[in-house]
Structure 1
Amino acid sequence: MLGVRISMMSLIQMLAVAEYLNFSHAANSLGVTQSSVSTRIKALEENLGVLLFERRHRGVRLTEAGRRFVADVSAGIEQLDHAIRAIGAVADGKAGHLAIGVHGAIAFGFLADLRRRYRTTYPMIEQSIIEGPSSYILAMIRDGKLDVAFVFNVANVPDCHSHYLWSEPLVIALPIGHPLASLETVAWTDLAAENFLVRQGGAGPQIFDHIIKRVTERGRSPRFHRRDVGRDTLMHMIAAGDGITLTHEAGSHTPFPGIVFRSITDEVEQARFSAVWSPHNHSPALKNFIDLAIRLSRSARAGRDSFQ
């Protein structure tokens, strides 16, 4: 029996005969001749060594073996149909998995809106988030462990595709009891003598370089403490009075007890965020995600231009 090869057409015709219990009606439903159906069913029974139908003057009746075979074949074809539809959904980018790398807050702003819209449009795509320093998530892109990464102030990435998507103002995070916390806005001259806390991970290296640039422009020597901690822990340290830090606007929308965020009046640059992905990644889900991100980015810029 393991060596028996049965064509799909033989099974389809067998199911049609089982449904109509009549060779002529089954043939009409399939658009073939009655003789071809009869021939296929007879050959199928001979291959299986089992009688599937009892022939009668006005039609046929399933044998006990035929009923069992029809039930199992119907279930198998249903599973096959499900598998074909499922693989088709994956090929169209409508089902599957998307691994996203980040190194900052994702609850607010452009990325949060992008993920929300993508989930609405493609609800069968599972999104997973991995957080880490830029070097870490970019290495995972190259290794094929991530589909796309969102990086801070990185314009070009060797061996990868990248596309600038959005920017956010830089803001300063202060403990609520800090003298500058009572001001609506601050300037870099006010901040130059402060003690800065900077993460070693996440966007820490880029933040570190930017603070050095701004403080030295004001003729001061930067005061730094670099900490190998997560963002929440860093904010708790600031709330405790250990120092201040620089972050981007989306991060300021997450409330932290004992922390206030202030805009910087003389900060002329913004945090720029780009999507990065591998040119070797041909995932349809990734393509749909990047296409949506670019459309949202263009729409957001057009909205800002018209407002201005």
Structure 2
Amino acid sequence: MAIELRHLRYAVAAARHGSFRRAAEELGVKQSSLSRRIRQMEGRLGVTVFERLSSGVRLTPAGAEILRTSQHLVDGLEHMMASAKAAGRGEAGRLSIGFHTSLSAGNLRASLVEHARRFPEVEIRMVEVARENLLVGLRHGQLDIAIITGEPTVREGEAMALWSERIMVALPESHLLAINEIVYWTDLRSETFLLSHRDPGPELRDILLVKLASPKVAGQDVSRESIMGLVGAGFGVSLICEAGIGASHAGVVYRELQDGSGPSRISYAAYWRSDNDNAALLNFRKLLEERYPVPSS
């Protein structure tokens, strides 16, 4: 005597409208098909669910009891169907984003805020790990998209260029250079640079080696936050991407770094698997393309 949830759904709509015709119009099915399904349900139950009238239909006492006790099943089906449709449009579901930049300020933070405004039902899962772990996570399907420093390169999957950020120098607030709005690389020749072994420390170190021939670098196996703590305590200076300056650290000030060509910058790119059909990923990529379009040649 198995009854399909679809049949119950038809019956609920017919009871609500008091009409097979209007119920069929609401559900987008033929009236004859809806009527036939309800008769099949009545046959399996061995009771008459609806009394057929010239003006429409109404529930019999037995039908009213059947729908009352099965309403939670119909509600669950309606919710499941609505959720499935929303997920298919990328308006619900889950999106896993890997990154190794700061969320205290900057473009990634702004993009996440805008995405949450447009798609509040999408659950965002953020994963902050080293670059190589991000790429492994993409390959294994643990991440939908990874935001990585550097220009996009040829890899497995797809990539797009995003934004660039200024590179800032973090100084103790008592430092002589702290009174300047702009600091030049040549002003830092005699400084001790505190850089994390963790991302994006190695990339900042590479830029430092290009800008200064033989800088004094004190590598630290600590987080960016701990590096800033050491700067504030007067152990040296450090480099930080612009997105990180939204976080306040005691005794630390940030100044723009320039050379003869202007501000020094670091680029970001997004990577994802070409076979990832997560609709939420597609919407996030469209948002990134909208906010950071490729410059026309």
For Structure 1 versus Structure 2, the TM-score category normalised by the shorter chain is 0.7 to 0.9
CA contact (8 A) 1:155 1:274 kept: yes
Partner of 1:128: 125
Task: Map 1:286-305 to 2 at 5 A.
Answer: 286-298=281-293
| 2:168 pairs with 1:171 | yes
Partner of 2:27: none
Matched pairs, number: 287
Summarize deviations over 1:239-274 as a string: whole Å, max 9, x none.
Answer: 111211111222223222201112223164411011
Match for residue 234 of structure 1 among 227, 235, 240: 227
| TM-score, normalised via structure 1 length | 0.81
Separation (CA, whole Å) in 1 of partners of 2:16 and 2:259: 81
Which structure 2 segments of 5+ residues have no match?
A: 25-29
Match for residue 12 of structure 1 among 3, 10, 13: 10
> Which amino acid is the alignment partner of residue 77 of structure 2?
L
Task: Map 1:1-308 to 2 at 5 A.
Answer: 1=1, 4=2, 8-9=6-7, 12=10, 16=14, 20=18, 26=20, 30=24, 32=31, 37=35, 44-50=41-47, 52=49, 62-63=60-61, 65-216=62-213, 221-266=214-259, 268=261, 269-298=264-293
> Which amino acid is the alignment partner of residue 72 of structure 1?
T
CA contact (8 A) 1:164 1:274 kept: yes
In terms of Rg, which structure is larger?
1
Separation (CA, whole Å) in 2 of partners of 1:141 and 1:267: 39
Report the CA distance between 1:78 and its aligned residue: 2.6
Report the CA distance between 1:108 and its aligned residue: 1.6
**Residues 1:117 and 1:43: Cα distance change in structure 2 (over 3 Å):** closer
Between the aligned residues of both structures, percent identity stands at 29
Report the CA distance between 1:5 and its aligned residue: 5.6
CA contact (8 A) 2:209 2:215 kept: yes
**Residues 1:81 and 1:208: Cα distance change in structure 2 (over 3 Å):** same
Separation (CA, whole Å) in 2 of partners of 1:297 and 1:56: 62
Report the CA distance between 1:139 and its aligned residue: 1.7
Report the CA distance between 1:151 and its aligned residue: 0.9
CA contact (8 A) 1:157 1:276 kept: no
Which structure 1 segments of 5+ residues have no match?
A: 303-308
- RMSD over aligned Cα atoms: 3.1
Where 1:265 maps in the other structure, the secondary structure is strand
| TM-score, normalised via structure 2 length | 0.83
